[in-house]
């Protein structure tokens, strides 16, 4: 039996949450958004096989949520370093969740001397009688080195389509140069076996023990990562002042940060554009002004059949849901913005529901979980 967080949490905004509203895109496409629940600084969500959701709140709470909005707190979450951009981060279910009950969470972890770093843990989600709980939690990866500051953890998670490998985005922690340092895991995409061990076929086998875990290098702050239906891996990352990117991720490639970027430093100092350095992989699309991308899906549902195989990205500063075409474009790139839906709030996370609806989380205290469907079908 699920024990609600509090009766007020379920009922106080209930009638207000039930009010659907229409959002029309920049090119006149209308969708309908229905508020489902509210959260305290929600960061990530994932659907379980039975249709319920897991939702993380950055201060350190993990919640089991029904599609009707009933929330139950899950115990056993580790302590998190909640400050700045740090706290409880991503959550995903293992591909074999139905058999193992395994879930993976990421979070900012305190170290010695005021240093922090991202961590990824695997646990068994117990959903039997009584309170739901994370059991047998084991940290399987830690961001090395831990450093000062509370920004650019990234720590987004995705499994390969065959379920064989876990990918982790490891941000540059606002330190810039480590993104090009093979003795630092900052500014990298990490590829692991499900137990946290390092696959023997990762591309940087001969560049040191730590580099064996790297899949790609030269990244800044990657808050969205997803596979498409053809097995291609996509990740977006925030640029500095300008130059947000979406990249087609290939093993062994260097994406150039901080040597090249389509943005400039916050100081105003110029950064060479990608085409000036052939050794770096350029983005498939980039944004100036920025959208501050967060969360991403490649859509595969039936509610929006014309959108299958396209990406949806949340915009934090952009306060929008950004729709991106994937595949070869007329300009020779592999991605292009199609439209955006102005949401009037920072969008932190995007997921596809079991029914093909698009679910998003707003980034704020009291941030809403919204279910988006075609206009008139809410």
Half-sphere exposure for 183 (CA within 13 Å, toward CB): 0
| Strand locations in 250-378 (E) | 285-287, 293-298, 311-315, 320-326, 335-342, 347-352, 358-362, 365-374
Give the residue among 341, 254, 358, 338 at the shortest CA–CA distance from 296: 358
Neighbours of 22 (CB within 10 A): 11
Burial of 16 (0-12, 13-18, 19+ CB in 10 A): exposed
Half-sphere exposure for 58 (CA within 13 Å, toward CB): 23
Q: Which of 102, 152, 219, 323 is catalytic?
A: 152
Q: How far is CA 109 from CA 18, 116, 171, in A?
A: 37, 6, 14
| Tokens standing for residue 323 | 């729709």
DSSP helix/strand/coil, 187: coil
Instruction: State the SS3 of 97-134.
Output: HHHHCEEEEEEEEECHHHCEEEEEEEEEEECCCCCCEE
Q: Which residues of 365-374 are buried (b: 16+ CB within 10 A; e: fewer)?
A: eebbbbbbbe
Q: Is 155 assigned a catalytic role? A: no
Give the residue among 177, 250, 266 at the shortest CA–CA distance from 218: 177
Give the residue among 32, 35, 58 at the shortest CA–CA distance from 45: 58
Burial of 82 (0-12, 13-18, 19+ CB in 10 A): middle
| Tokens standing for residue 135 | 């059991």
Please check whether residue 353 is in contact with residue 316, taking contact to mean a CB–CB distance below 8 angstroms.
Answer: no
Please check whether residue 189 is in contact with residue 219, taking contact to mean a CB–CB distance below 8 angstroms.
Answer: yes
**Known catalytic residues?**
152
């Amino acid at each position: 039996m699920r024990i609600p967080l509090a009766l007020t949490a379920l009922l106080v905004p209930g009638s207000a949450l039930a009010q659907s509203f229409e959002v029309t895109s920049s090119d006149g496409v209308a969708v309908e958004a229905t508020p489902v629940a509210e959260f305290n600084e929600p960061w990530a969500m994932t659907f379980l096989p039975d249709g319920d959701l897991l939702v993380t709140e950055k201060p350190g709470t993990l919640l089991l949520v029904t599609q009707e909005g009933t929330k139950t707190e899950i115990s056993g979450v580790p302590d998190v370093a909640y400050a700045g951009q740090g706290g409880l981060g991503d959550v995903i279910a293992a591909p074999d969740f139905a058999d193992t009950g395994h879930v993976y969470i990421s979070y900012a972890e305190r170290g010695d001397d005021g240093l922090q770093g991202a961590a990824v843990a695997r646990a068994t989600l117990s959903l039997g009688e009584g309170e739901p709980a994370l059991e047998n939690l084991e940290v399987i990866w830690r961001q090395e080195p831990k450093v000062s500051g509370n920004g650019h953890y990234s720590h987004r998670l995705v499994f390969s389509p065959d379920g064989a490998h876990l990918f982790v985005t490891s941000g540059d922690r606002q330190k810039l140069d480590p993104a090009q340092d093979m003795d630092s895991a900052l500014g990298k995409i990490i590829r692991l076996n499900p137990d946290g061990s390092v696959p023997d076929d990762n591309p940087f086998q001969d560049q040191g023990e730590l580099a064996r875990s790297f899949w790609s290098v030269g990244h800044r702050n990657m808050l969205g990562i997803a596979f498409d239906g053809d097995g291609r891996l996509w990740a977006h990352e925030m640029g500095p002042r300008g130059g947000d990117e979406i990249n087609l991720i290939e093993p062994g490639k260097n994406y150039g940060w901080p040597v090249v970027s389509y943005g400039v430093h916050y100081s105003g100092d110029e950064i060479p554009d990608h085409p000036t350095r052939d050794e770096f992989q350029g983005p498939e699309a980039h944004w100036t002004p920025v959208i501050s991308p967060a969360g991403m899906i490649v859509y595969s549902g039936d509610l929006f059949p014309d959108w299958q195989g396209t990406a949806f990205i949340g915009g934090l500063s952009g306060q929008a849901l950004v729709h991106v075409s994937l595949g070869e474009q007329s300009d020779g790139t592999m991605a292009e913005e199609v439209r955006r839906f102005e949401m009037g709030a920072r969008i932190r996370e995007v997921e596809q529901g079991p029914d093909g609806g698009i679910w998003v989380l707003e980034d704020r205290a009291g941030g809403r979980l919204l279910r988006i469907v075609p206009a008139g079908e809410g």
